[in-house]
Chains A and B, each alone.
Chain A
Amino acid sequence: MEYRDRSPCGHLTLSDTGKEVTLAGWVDALRDHGGVLFIHLRDRSGIVQVVFTPESTPQTVCDRAGLLKSEFCIRLAGRVAKRVEGAENPGIATGEIEVVAKDLAILSRADTLPFQISDKSMVAGVAVKREEAVAEDLRLQYRYLDLRRPKMQDHLIKRHRIVKAVRDYLDEQGFIEIETPMLTKSTPEGARDYLVPSRHYPRSFYALPQSPQLFKQLLMVGGMERYSQIVRCFRDEDLRPNRQPEFTQLDLEASFIDEGFIYALLEELTARIFQVGEIELPRPYPRMTWTDAMNSTGSDKPDLRFDMTFKDATDIFAETNYSIFRHILSRGGCIKGINVKGQSEKLSKNVLQNEYAKEIVPGFGAKGMTWMKVTDGGLESNIVQFFSDHERNEILKRFGATNGDVILMIADPSWSLVCSALGQLRLHVAQRLDLIPADVFYPLWVTDFPLFEATDNGVTSSHHPFTMPDRADFDPENRDELLSLRSRAYDLVVNGEELGGGSIRINDRDIQNRIFKALGLSENEIEAKFGFFLKALEYGAPPHGGIALGIDRVVAMILGTSSIREVIAFPKNRSAFCPLTEAPSPVAMEQLAELGLLELGGSPSLPGSKKQQTLIDSLSWVSRIRMDAEERPGIAAAIDDAKAYADLINSRCVDDEPMFSVVTAANRTRQGTESRVSPFAEKGEILKNAPSTKGGFFKVASILE
């Protein structure tokens, strides 16, 4: 048996019948038929059945095969044979044949597995018995085992195909891949940086890149013309279920181009990579300005797989007698609504009033919601009596309403609140009523974003400060004018998810200066933060622009996985922790001292003052018990007592083994019993003692604000 003769398990076919083959891989599953042993042998290419039978296999080999267990790594030799009629297994690609073993070597044994890896039944037509869903943290802790599962292998192989398709296409288009530094200077991307302390420059830090933004622009100044990179980026943002502290971007930048170039390039690029998942994207991708997106869907990443877009009803109620609307409109507000077509039966008055108006919509930040059911050409609602005939008719006309429709409206003095709340409501209703078609992909360019957003005392960049404005003749001191500027930025959105974004950049030092001035940065701040970059703009910077695409997100969408962690080999979990390596982890004091980090906190704290306070606060946090200011001194004294007890007991140390209980613990694994649902849970009695419930569940605060 030589490895160079090895055949991939999954590639064997009927035409190989009679051939002597050498195989290597892992034992996926075993079935012992009293003397005849069948195994599923798995390698990256697939699974093939191997049979050890006393008739054809030497006795010593049969004996060795008797030692096999799941996930043993083995090598074997044998002859390919057609299976007997009726014994075929259509569940695997090699189901028509099997390999009759002649020799076997156990290369490496496997311990008891933390979870089942095999998901292919050895018997045709029988579903494999799977344990309950494996907890994700356990999968991540044993990721190397999780990766053996064909599904995970397929994800990573497809990811490779997608990235390769990207590289091939960009190469065709004249882009060259250039690496940019990982240890760099903090860039103004808005999120928190991951910092890396420098040993040679004590108290100074590198930042890991949030994106290679400035470097790729410098590459354009450097005359590279077309640059691309598959690059890892880092952002220390608040935890979100589908967010990773490090993520992969396709980053590209090109000179002497305009928006049209990017649109064409990215449409062809994305169309090609979606084909890896056998998805055809409809082209050309529609474009929508940010203002239209907000006005029609309340989102800067609209999901247009379904309609239910907003209609504005502000003008209908200009003269209304309905006091709530009148009040809102007198404060410059607006009224928008959606028509949930033909869903009147599914949205009862109770659901509309008690769930949506009272609970769900307030959760979106709006004070209330107005609902109307369309019946026999009229409107039915708890407030419709306050509307005039004219108003009712106009509503029907505006929303194109017919019998069985439900109209939902939100009114508020703030336009952005109306958009945001109605946008969330639109998605909520669509999901609840299952109005989003499956397997449909709707790509879209969103353009003409506001260049600035208002802050309490000025403006801030919506994108980043290097984005080119739609016009250059603005006054950096005029806040209203600044807020009316649009940027030459564009986002690529698919199915309501932002896959990437970019812009045409500023290549003019004067415009860049005025942008910084608008942002309220002083000359000194500008120099300290961006001096090196601004200097580069003074040496003939070409017009340029680019875009970055989130690869993890794109791959997850193409493969239809539940999270981006399914398409990353070694991701962090939802808490930005790696269960496999247990990173992040504490480091030795010596390491901190070497980096000069110990002295960073200022002077050492006085005994019992700040340090003590930190200890109490950390205990309060780890035990999740809030304390009042009045309780603090008592608790501080008790901690001092505890320290004294610790000193006392440590000074009286003995060699005995610790005794955690005076009785010997008994093994209470109840074998042969099946897990069952408690009758209290079944009948819902378990909810009787709960302080807050909702729809048969315990109700809790959301994990994130």
Chain B
Amino acid sequence: MVSEIYTHKNTSPKPCANNGLLAGRRVVIQPNMSACGWLSDAGSPALEGFVALEDATVVARMRDAGAELVGSSRMSELGFGLAGDTANRILSGGEADIALVTDTMGEARVAAAGSAVFGFKPSFGMVSRSGLVGLVPSMECYGILGKKMEDIIDTLSVIAGKDKDDPSMPDETFPDFAAARKPLKMPCTAGVLKECVDLLQDRERKAFRTGLARLEEAGLTIREVNFSEFDLFRVVHHIVASVEASSSAGKYDGVRYGHRSSSGKNWNEMYLNSRGESFGSGIKTFLFQGAYFQFESYPAFENACRNRRRLVRTSADLLGSVDLLVFPTRRLEHDAWRAATINHIYDAFLLTLPANVTGQPSLHVPSLALHAGTDIGVQLVGLRLDDPRLLSIGMKLSSTAQGGASHEV
């Protein structure tokens, strides 16, 4: 049942229910999402051999909605970045229609760009994370990859909503996703960040402009806007995420589950050795950085959180003057699947991580911005809890996008 691209391959994916919203659709998940009886090791020796005892809320909801769970992909260690992740290969290989990919810094959207499908990160807080093996609790959420916009809207309708098993969910009223399927109200203005476009190489900028032109064809108005603190998104994400990761990873002790070192004479040594052997070099480096901020430079962590508030506010202010913001999804020279060091990972997700810092919804629309056959992606970002509007724009662009996709094939 273990293969090169699957952590767990489900031999009997047919669900009991056959009349749900997701009936007949094949879904692949990641092994950090608990599925009862499946190896759910989050790609890490820290959970070596961990077999989930019950379904994550999201997994249970998808099963109930009739989805066929084909298995879990391989994934990067604890879901940080995409090194070794195979969700896009499973989708491209036609073995699944929908994939769930944890989005901590843009993994779902960048993975979607790599398999010519739509990729959506919903507003932070709308989907229960009970049963998700997490690393960065203030930023990560389930991302949805789907070949069609309907796949994304249907999946989101099924998995979103309150859950008593996830006490971290806010007391907010979540939007009704029916609006997502309705035609987009025009006019609609899309803002492009000058500071973001300035970062791009010429060929990237050219491809991005092609994508913007397709948006204009679809009836959107494009406007350039300024975000002078844009460069802070990366450093804020890095400091906050490393601190949260260091804290979250504290629970991996090799006692209740996971890897136990064969050496270690006493409790402290058992702990030091087991954890030393439980983390790969990338994540370990990140945890040390987190420990540095936590124990040696806590004011920097607080200042990062102060700046986070400012970034959230500025971003929301901008979205008062335009209906959505547009970014490319990824860079040409930074392959997220090869990025294994912390700095390379941050390079690869530079354009997607702002939405994780702000908790805003973000949709990757495929095949609009191509450079020599490589899709750098068009990524739309909207106000928090304004997911339906973002999705309805996606529906509108869907015909354009699918035209593009057929070119590539």
| A interface residue numbers (CB < 8 A to B) | 615-616, 618-628, 631, 634-635, 638-639, 641-643, 645-646, 648-650, 652-666, 668, 680, 685-686, 688-692, 698, 700-705
Contacts and interface: CB of A to CB of B under 8 A. Distances in A.
B167 interface: yes
A128 B270 CA distance: 42
Nearest to A621: B272
Contacts of A692: 260
Contacts of A663: 124-125, 170, 172, 359
Given A645-B235, A657-B306, A698 B287 contact: no
A630 B303 CA distance: 33
B127 to A, nearest CB: 12
B7 interface: no
A664 B307 CA distance: 17
Interface string B72-108: 0000000000000000000000000000000000000
B270 to A, nearest CB: 4
Given A642-B293, A654-B306, A659-B305, A691 B279 contact: no
A649 B303 contact: yes
Interface in B232-280: 232, 235-236, 238-239, 242, 246, 250, 254-260, 264-273, 275-277, 279
B2 to A, nearest CB: 17
B259 A691 contact: yes
A457 to B, nearest CB: 26
Nearest to B283: A625
A186 to B, nearest CB: 29
Interface string B291-309: 1110111011011111111
Contacts of B229: 652
B53 A702 contact: no
Contacts of B288: 616, 619-620, 623, 625, 627, 635, 638-639
A250 to B, nearest CB: 34
B234 to A, nearest CB: 9
Nearest to A669: B167
A518 B93 CA distance: 82
A688 B260 contact: no
A661 B243 CA distance: 13
B289 interface: yes
Interface of B: 48-51, 53-54, 124-125, 138, 167-172, 229, 232, 235-236, 238-239, 242, 246, 250, 254-260, 264-273, 275-277, 279, 281, 284-293, 295-297, 299-300, 302-310, 312-313, 341-343, 358-359, 384
Contact of B358 (A620, A662, A664, A686): A662
Contacts of B277: 626
Contact of A662 (B239, B302, B384): B384
A654 B296 CA distance: 21
A624 B251 CA distance: 11
Given A660-B305, A662-B138, A704 B384 contact: no
Given A623-B288, A656-B306, A664 B170 contact: yes
B287 A623 contact: yes
25 contacts: A620-B288, A625-B288, A631-B284, A639-B289, A641-B342, A642-B242, A645-B239, A646-B292, A646-B293, A656-B313, A658-B303, A658-B305, A658-B308, A659-B312, A661-B138, A663-B124, A665-B170, A686-B256, A688-B51, A689-B51, A690-B257, A691-B258, A691-B260, A698-B256, A701-B267
Contacts of B342: 638, 641
A666 B309 CA distance: 19
A689 B170 contact: no
Contacts of B303: 649-650, 652-654, 658
A668 B167 contact: yes
Pairs A-B, 10 closest by C-beta atoms: A626-B276, A658-B305, A662-B359, A646-B300, A691-B260, A689-B257, A659-B309, A663-B170, A668-B167, A701-B270
A625 B287 contact: yes
B268 A634 contact: no
A620 B259 CA distance: 18
B138 A652 contact: no
Contacts of B255: 690-691, 698, 700
A662 B264 CA distance: 41
A619 to B, nearest CB: 5
Chain B contact residues, majority secondary structure = helix
A646, A656, A688, A698 pick with most chain B CB within 10 angstroms: A646
A259 B53 CA distance: 67
Contacts of A657: 306, 309
A614 to B, nearest CB: 11
A649 B236 contact: yes
Contacts of B232: 649, 652
A598 to B, nearest CB: 20
Contacts of A658: 302-303, 305-306, 308-309
Contacts of B276: 625-628
A701 B384 contact: no
Contacts of A638: 285-286, 288-289, 342
Given A641-B343, A649-B304, A691-B258, A625 B272 contact: yes
A638 B281 CA distance: 11
A622 B288 CA distance: 10
B246 A650 contact: no
Contacts of B171: 664, 666
A659 B307 CA distance: 8
B233 to A, nearest CB: 12
Contacts of B266: 701-705
A648 B49 CA distance: 41
B293 A654 contact: no
Nearest to B234: A645
Nearest to B138: A661
A648 B302 contact: no
Contact of B264 (A621, A650, A701): A701
Contacts of A634: 281, 285, 341
B292 to A, nearest CB: 5
A624 B272 contact: yes
A685 B293 CA distance: 37
B78 to A, nearest CB: 14
Contacts of B310: 654, 656
Given A646-B300, A648-B235, 10 more contacts: A621-B272, A626-B272, A639-B292, A656-B313, A662-B384, A666-B171, A685-B53, A690-B257, A702-B267, A705-B265
Contacts of B236: 649
A646 B250 CA distance: 22
A626 B308 contact: no
A649 B239 CA distance: 9
A652 B307 contact: yes
Contact of B284 (A625, A639, A686): A625
Nearest to B278: A625
A664 to B, nearest CB: 6
Contacts of B254: 691
Nearest to B261: A626
Contacts of A698: 255-256
B267 A619 contact: no
A703 B268 CA distance: 7
Nearest to B51: A689
A689 B36 CA distance: 13
A685 B52 CA distance: 10
B189 to A, nearest CB: 24
A701 B262 CA distance: 11
Contact of A619 (B239, B291, B305, B309): B291
A616 B257 CA distance: 27
B289 A641 contact: yes
Contact of B138 (A616, A625, A660, A680): A660
Contacts of A648: 235
Nearest to B48: A691
B53 A688 contact: yes
Nearest to B47: A689
Nearest to A692: B260
A570 B246 CA distance: 35
A626, A631, A653, A705 pick with most chain B CB within 10 angstroms: A626
